[in-house]
Amino acid sequence: MSQLGLPILAAVSGAREGSGGAPPLAGVVLSRVVAAEAARDPGRNVFVFENGARPAERVTAADLALGGVGMADALVRLGLRPGDRNHRIAVLLRNHPALLHALVAGAKLGLPVV
């Protein structure tokens, strides 16, 4: 993957020292960060998946937000409920945009992704 990404993640990587022991992402919800970034600059590439001889797959902020919301909606239609402590989202994918969508969906629903 390239050096592209969401601004908050880049800012947090330098904020680990001197944080008083608090985790640097405490209170940050990935789905909210993604939605805010999509509203701010929807066409900006936030991830690029290098695929060897095949063309790279680019994911814009809008792609990430819409894919995550779409996957969350699909999981709810399948019976998962937000915050349900008895369920996990299991993912078995290569490095692919759908993996990111699953992470955003999990954050939106409050369900762990494994």
Count of residues making up the chain:
114
Helix (H) or strand (E) holding 54: strand 54-60
Which tokens hold the place of 95?
């490095």
Q: Which of 24, 34, 16, 40 is nearest to 97 (CA)?
A: 34
pLDDT of residue 25: 55
Rounded average pLDDT per 10-residue block, the chain, 114 residues: 48 49 64 90 92 88 95 95 91 89 93 92
Q: Which sequence spans correspond to the domains of the chain? A: 7-109
pLDDT of residue 80: 93
Q: How far apart are CA 55 and CA 114, in angstroms?
A: 28
